[in-house]
């Protein structure tokens, strides 16, 4: 097997033959030459680590070169270490042989059926990179620049994520598809609104929520029995009782200091223990500590099924995952938290009406296995129907891999009825046009504040909606 050698040479003034000054130029020219379709390798000859890191990132992000054998003359940064196939001063026969072995494995794989612009393509390339390099697992790395405090270097680069930590969604999707199994490595605490890890815990006044609180000693004047903060007694260098105006001279004789209390400078409340509030440094939302989203940080281990998916080039079709991703749903726990706030607001202000819409989708297994393309097109059209009938202020979530939940703020029952009817009619027509009425069942329901739901918890409201859709 002949291996074409492509050199990226830092400091080269211009491209010459198969020697290029920048990885971006190499990608463009090599693609024009059609060399990506035949065995080749890249060798990065750099003067500093920064250039090596940049070359590795550029080459591994691009679908055409994500599997290409890649060597460098300098050791890359730790996050890129597993993305390079070897480090040596100059390209050796051993490296060329290693490239040949990688290509032998690549050529046994079924061609990647996904378009280069699709996330499925990037996920497939990640799996195939692991398989062709005999890498069994992807481990998390602690990193302060990650949105969740950790990231998975190989996945972040090949999945083309701009922010570290965003690759977690793809890894979790592939875990649910049984492509990866997991082992817990650590835990992280995240904002329930934006998923960011940089949280600030603050002591606040339990009465007004202000952070302008201070801990102060309290003085007990024996003679008149008055107890108050030390600042009330302080008059210049003396302690004068604000009640009887007697001077306090000797602790233990005239007075004592029985306790310390907090004082709020905003509302003047006095309290023993402050409340704790959490402030997200990313979205500026505040919330109580019990609403912090606790997540496990896992190592992702490639399963035998995952290796089979990589070899055959075909992901299992997961209907609900497809639908949830395309709709851009928020997490169920966050949805419950927001719904709870709406319920409390509506109970206090009855004119603030809202509704919760539920959609249930059931797809028979034979439709998924026998007509996956038709089902995927149906899902795409279904997403369009749902989005066209909603406002930007409406909040979408999902639960139990069967239900779509939609919170419709400032919506009376008549408004929800119109939305539900429009969606139901359009979906019914869509099912008939695609001859899927016997394969896919679609149900819808809604519940509004006029039904007395403000006396229920958010969980109870959702259960009522589920019960309606199961009838």
Q: What is the pLDDT of residue 369?
A: 64
Locate tokens 């028979």: which residue?
A: 364
For the chain, what are the domain ranges? 1-108, 206-273, 317-469
- Of the candidates 201, 225, 220, 198, which has an alpha carbon nearest to the alpha carbon of residue 211? 201
Helices (H), 188-287: 230-233
Dist CA 358 CA 383 (whole Å): 14
Q: What is the pLDDT of residue 364?
A: 82
Supply 443's token pair.
């149900």
In this structure, whether the domain defined by 317-469 belongs to CATH 3.40.50.1950 is answered with no
Dist CA 147 CA 151 (whole Å): 9
Contact 65/56 with Cβ under 8 angstroms?
A: no
Contact 194/212 with Cβ under 8 angstroms?
A: no
Three-state DSSP state, 357:
strand
Dist CA 293 CA 319 (whole Å): 26
CATH class name, domain 1-108: alpha beta
Q: What is the pLDDT of residue 200?
A: 96
Neighbours of 138 (CB within 10 A): 22
Sequential pLDDT tens for the chain (471 residues):
899 999 999 998 887 889 999 999 999 999 999 999 899 999 999 999 999 999 999 999 999 999 999 999 999 999 999 999 999 999 999 999 999 999 999 999 988 877 676 788 999 999 999 999 999 999 999 999 999 999 999 999 999 999 999 999 999 989 988 899 999 999 999 999 988 999 999 999 999 999 999 998 889 999 998 988 888 898 988 999 999 999 998 888 889 888 888 999 999 899 989 999 999 999 999 999 999 999 999 999 999 999 999 998 888 767 777 777 788 888 888 899 999 999 999 999 999 999 999 999 888 877 776 777 788 888 889 999 999 999 999 999 988 667 899 999 999 999 999 999 999 999 999 999 989 999 889 999 999 999 889 999 999 999 999 888 887
Q: What is the pLDDT of residue 72?
A: 97
Taking the CA atoms of residue 213, residue 219, residue 224 and residue 225 in that order, the dihedral angle to the nearest 10 degrees is 80
Is the fold of 1-108 the same as that of 317-469?
no
Contact 193/280 with Cβ under 8 angstroms?
A: yes
- The pTM score is 0.67
- Burial of 88-126, coded b for 16+ CB within 10 Å and e otherwise, reads eeebeeebbebbeebbeeeeebeebebeeeeeebbbbbb
Instruction: Output DSSP code: residue 237.
Output: T
């Amino acid at each position: 097997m002949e291996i074409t050698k492509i050199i990226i040479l830092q400091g080269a003034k211009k491209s010459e033959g198969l020697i290029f000054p920048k990885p971006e130029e190499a990608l463009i020219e090599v693609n024009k030459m059609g060399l990506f379709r035949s065995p080749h390798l890249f060798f990065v000859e750099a003067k500093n680590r920064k250039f090596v890191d940049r070359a590795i990132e550029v080459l591994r992000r691009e679908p055409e070169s994500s599997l290409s054998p890649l060597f460098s003359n300098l050791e890359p940064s730790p996050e890129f270490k597993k993305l390079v196939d070897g480090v040596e001063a100059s390209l050796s026969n051993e490296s060329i042989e290693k490239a040949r072995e990688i290509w032998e494995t690549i050529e046994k794989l079924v061609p990647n059926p996904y378009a280069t612009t699709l996330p499925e393509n990037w996920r497939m390339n990640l799996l195939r990179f692991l398989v062709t390099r005999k890498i069994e697992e992807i481990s998390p790395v602690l990193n302060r620049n990650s949105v969740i405090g950790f990231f998975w270097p190989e996945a972040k680069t090949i999945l083309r994520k701009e922010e570290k930590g965003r690759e977690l969604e793809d890894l979790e999707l592939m875990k649910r598809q049984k492509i990866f199994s997991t082992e817990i490595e650590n835990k992280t605490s995240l904002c329930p609104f934006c998923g960011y890890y940089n949280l600030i815990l603050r002591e606040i006044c339990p009465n007004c929520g202000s952070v302008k609180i201070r801990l102060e000693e309290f003085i007990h004047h024996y003679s008149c029995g008055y107890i108050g903060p030390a600042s009330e007694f302080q008059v210049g260098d003396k302690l004068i009782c604000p009640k009887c105006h007697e001077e306090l001279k000797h602790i233990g004789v005239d007075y004592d200091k029985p306790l310390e209390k907090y004082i709020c400078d905003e509302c003047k409340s006095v309290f023993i223990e402050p409340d704790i509030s959490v402030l997200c440094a990313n979205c500026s939302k505040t919330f109580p500590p019990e609403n912090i989203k606790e997540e496990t940080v896992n190592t992702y281990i490639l399963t035998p099924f995952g290796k089979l998916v990589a070899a055959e080039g075909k992901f299992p079709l997961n209907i609900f995952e497809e639908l949830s991703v395309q709709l851009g749903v928020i997490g169920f726990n966050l949805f419950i938290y927001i719904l709870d706030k709406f319920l409390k607001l509506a109970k206090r202000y009855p004119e603030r009406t809202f509704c919760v819409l539920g959609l249930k989708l059931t797809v028979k297994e034979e439709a998924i296995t026998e007509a996956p393309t038709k089902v995927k097109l149906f899902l795409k059209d279904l997403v369009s129907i749902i989005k066209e009938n909603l406002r930007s202020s409406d909040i979408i979530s999902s639960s139990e891999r069967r239900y779509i939940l939609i919170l419709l703020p400032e919506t009376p029952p008549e408004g929800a009825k119109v939305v539900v009817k429009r969606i139901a009619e359009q979906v019914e027509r869509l099912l008939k046009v695609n001859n899927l009425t016997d394969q896919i069942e679609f149900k819808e329901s809604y519940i509004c504040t006029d039904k007395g739901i403000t006396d229920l918890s958010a969980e109870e409201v959702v259960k009522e909606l589920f019960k309606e859709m199961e009838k």
